[in-house]
């Protein structure tokens, strides 16, 4: 193992020791180089989260010799990048409008794909984040349930920064309750079995609230450099 991979493996082991085996750990590699992703792969990670489509495509091109990776899109998806997102990610965690879902559903049909998806919820006001309000979700749920080319199987939520732990916990628990509410409605094509909840600073709270997928960047790779320049 390279020294970089050994360092990641050590951090990974420390995290794994604190989480149940059922929880899927997504390594968030945004802003880090393809070489860091390669080291993470060597350390045993297979699920990778990126928030920008172009950045992920560039890394995937450099890592084409590796197999068995699952790529998760966790950032806001602009509609003009939806087709590329379908071609390069197996999971899309960030469906934040019916319009986006409809577009993805059509394009997935054209591409003969059926990606796994999460509906992203915004349960507290947050100018920095996308997501469906509870009212929007309830209004459009039966439409999401008709999307045969999207495997909508999860809910994702990100509490606003700066909340107290009990407020963060409340967001996670509310997400879990919304999943139950959806499942009680018994739509044939819409069953929520996945909760994409928890980042480096709050993942223990998320796991306590039933998270099945945690998205960890800083804890595995250290602080990110601040971004400069254009989006995506």
Site for ligand PLP, rule CB under 6 A: 28, 30, 51, 74-75, 158, 199-201, 215-219
CB of 132 to ligand PLP, least distance (A): 15
End-to-end CA distance of the chain: 32
CB of 157 to ligand PLP, least distance (A): 10
Residue placing its CB nearer to ligand PLP in the complex, 38 or 215? 215
CA dist., res. 4 & res. 10, Å (int): 10
CB of 173 to ligand PLP, least distance (A): 19
Q: Which residues pair with 195 in a beta bridge?
A: 155
CA dist., res. 136 & res. 153, Å (int): 18
Residue of closest CB approach to ligand PLP:
217
**Residue 77 CA from chain centroid, whole number:** 12
Q: Please answer whether residues 197 and 168 qualify as being in contact, where contact means their C-beta atoms are separated by less than 8 angstroms.
A: no
Residue placing its CB nearer to ligand PLP in the complex, 108 or 220? 220
Residue placing its CB nearer to ligand PLP in the complex, 101 or 214? 214
The secondary structure of residue 80, as a DSSP letter, is G
Residue placing its CB nearer to ligand PLP in the complex, 11 or 149? 11
């Amino acid at each position: 193992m390279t020294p970089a991979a050994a360092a990641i493996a050590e951090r990974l082991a420390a995290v794994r020791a604190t989480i149940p085996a059922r929880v899927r750990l997504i390594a968030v590699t945004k802003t880090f180089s393809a070489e860091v992703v390669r080291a993470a792969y060597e350390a045993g990670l297979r699920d990778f989260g990126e928030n920008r489509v172009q950045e992920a495509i560039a890394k995937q091109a450099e890592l084409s010799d590796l197999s068995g990776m699952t790529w998760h899109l966790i950032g806001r998806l602009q509609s003009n990048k939806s087709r590329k997102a379908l071609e390069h990610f197996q999971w899309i965690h960030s469906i934040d409008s019916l319009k986006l879902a409809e577009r993805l559903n059509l394009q997935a049909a054209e591409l003969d794909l059926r990606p796994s998806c999460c509906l992203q919820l915004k349960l507290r006001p947050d100018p920095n984040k996308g997501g469906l309000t509870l009212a929007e979700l309830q209004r459009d749920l039966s439409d999401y349930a008709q999307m045969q080319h999207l495997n909508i199987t999860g809910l994702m939520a990100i509490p606003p920064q700066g909340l107290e732990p009990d407020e963060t916990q409340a967001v996670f628990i509310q997400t879990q309750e919304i999943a139950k509410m959806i499942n009680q409605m018994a739509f044939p094509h819409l069953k929520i079995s996945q909760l994409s909840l928890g980042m480096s600073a709050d993942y223990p709270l998320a796991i306590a609230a039933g998270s099945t997928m945690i998205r960890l960047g800083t804890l595995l790779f250290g602080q990110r450099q601040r971004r400069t320049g254009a989006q995506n």
